[in-house]
Amino acid sequence: MKVKIDEELCMGCGVCPSICPEVFEMADDGKAKVIADPVPPGSEDSCREAVEGCPELAIKIVD
């Protein structure tokens, strides 16, 4: 499983790293970044929750 963030859509709310810190991190530019590629098997469920929890629908599952 792989995820990608559309930085044009990310408004830096911080929800994704709060749900799945293994995969998402807030960067200095105020946008979320993917720090685990591919997503570790044990983090796939929380990663899906983060995808669904993004208010901007900025995170896509790409693989």
Task: Catalog residues that contact ligand SF4 under the rule CB under 6 A.
Answer: 5, 10-16, 32, 54-56, 58-59
Instruction: Identify which of residues 42 and 53 has a Cβ nearer to ligand SF4 in the complex.
Output: 53
User: If phi over 0 gives left and psi between -120 and 50 gives alpha, with beta otherwise, what is residue 24?
Assistant: beta
Q: How far is the CB of 30 from ligand SF4 (least distance, A)?
A: 9
Going by C-beta distance under 8 Å and a sequence separation of 6 or more, which residues neighbour residue 5? Answer: 16, 24, 31, 32, 33, 34, 58, 59, 60
Q: How far is the CB of 12 from ligand SF4 (least distance, A)?
A: 5
Q: How far is the CB of 56 from ligand SF4 (least distance, A)?
A: 4
